[in-house]
Amino acid sequence: MNVIASEGMKKRLTILGSTGSIGRQALDVVKSHPEKFVVEVLTANRNASLLIKQAIEFQPNAVVITEKQHYQQLKDALSAFPVKVFAGSEAMGQVVQMDTVDIVLSALVGFSGLLPTLEAIKAGKTIALANKETLVVAGDLVNDMAAKHGAPIIPVDSEHSAIFQCLMGEDPASIDKIFLTASGGPFRTYDAHQLRHVTHEQALNHPNWQMGNKITIDSASLMNKGLEVIEAKWLFGLHPSQIKVIIHPQSIIHSMVQFCDGSIKAQMGLPDMRTPIQYALNWPDRLPSSNAFLNFSEHPSLTFEKPTPHLFRNLQLAYEALEKGGNMCCTLNAANEIAVAAFLEGKCGFLQMSEVIEHCMNHSSFISKPTLDDYIQTDREARQLASSYLTL
Query: Which residues of the shown chain bind Mg ion in the complex (CB under 5 A)?
Result: 157-159
Q: Is residue 235 at the binding interface for ligand NDP, with CB under 6 A as the rule?
A: no
Give the nearest distance from C-beta 154 to Mg ion in angstroms: 15
Number of residues that bind ligand NDP (CB under 6 A): 28
Of 4-12, 78-86, 103-111, 299-307, the window that binds ligand NDP (rule: CB under 6 A) is: 103-111
Site string for ligand NDP, 326-355 (x = CB under 6 A): ------------------------------
Sole binder of ligand NDP in the list 29, 30, 39, 44 (CB under 6 A) = 44
Give the nearest distance from C-beta 259 to ligand NDP in angstroms: 25
- Eight-state DSSP code of residue 266: E
Site string for ligand NDP, 113-132 (x = CB under 6 A): -----------------xxx
Closest CA to 98 of 48, 51, 39: 39
Judged by beta carbon distances under 5 to 8 A according to partner kind, the member of ligand NDP, Mg ion, none in contact with residue 109 is ligand NDP
The neighbour count for residue 44, using CB atoms within 10 Å, is 27
Helix (H, G, I), strand (E, B) or coil at 10: coil
Burial of 274 (0-12, 13-18, 19+ CB in 10 A): middle
Rg of the chain over CA atoms, in angstroms?
20
Q: Is residue 108 at the binding interface for ligand NDP, with CB under 6 A as the rule?
A: yes
- Eight-state DSSP code of residue 48: H
Sole binder of ligand NDP in the list 22, 154, 217, 229 (CB under 6 A) = 22
Q: Is residue 133 at the binding interface for ligand NDP, with CB under 6 A as the rule?
A: yes
Cα–Cα distance list, 341 to 81, 200, 255, 273 (Å): 37, 10, 29, 24
Q: Is residue 53 at the binding interface for ligand NDP, with CB under 6 A as the rule?
A: no
Of 12-20, 300-308, 316-324, 364-372, the window that binds ligand NDP (rule: CB under 6 A) is: 12-20
Helix (H, G, I), strand (E, B) or coil at 288: coil
The 10 Å CB-count burial string (b at 16+, else e) for 151-183 is bbbbbbbbbbbbbbbbbeeeeeeebebbbbbbb
Sole binder of ligand NDP in the list 112, 282, 336, 354 (CB under 6 A) = 112
| 133-149 vs 223-236: helix crossing angle, rounded to 10 | 10
Judged by beta carbon distances under 5 to 8 A according to partner kind, the member of ligand NDP, Mg ion, none in contact with residue 21 is ligand NDP
Q: Is residue 17 at the binding interface for ligand NDP, with CB under 6 A as the rule?
A: yes
Distance CA 278, CA 287 (A): 8
Give the nearest distance from C-beta 26 to ligand NDP in angstroms: 9
What is the residue-wise DSSP string for 123-178?
A: TT-EEEE--THHHHHHHHHHHHHHHHHT--EEE-SHHHHHHHHHTTTS-GGGEEEE
- Residues whose CB falls within 8 Å of the CB of residue 264, separated by 6 or more in sequence, listed in order: 179, 256, 257, 258
Q: Is residue 222 at the binding interface for ligand NDP, with CB under 6 A as the rule?
A: no
Distance CA 215, CA 204 (A): 9
Give the nearest distance from C-beta 140 to ligand NDP in angstroms: 19
Give the nearest distance from C-beta 158 to ligand NDP in angstroms: 6
What residues between 141 and 170 interact with ligand NDP by CB under 6 A?
157
Sole binder of ligand NDP in the list 2, 14, 19, 126 (CB under 6 A) = 19
Residues 19, 221, 20: CA angle, nearest 5 degrees: 0
Output the residue with the shortest Cβ distance to ligand NDP: 20
Distance CA 227, CA 373 (A): 22
Closest CA to 181 of 304, 24, 97, 51: 304
Sole binder of ligand NDP in the list 14, 54, 61, 66 (CB under 6 A) = 66
Q: Is residue 21 at the binding interface for ligand NDP, with CB under 6 A as the rule?
A: yes
Residue closer to Mg ion by CB (options 159, 272) is: 159
Query: Rule CB under 6 A: which residues touch ligand NDP?
Result: 17-23, 44-47, 66, 89, 107-109, 112, 130-133, 157, 209, 211-212, 214-215, 273
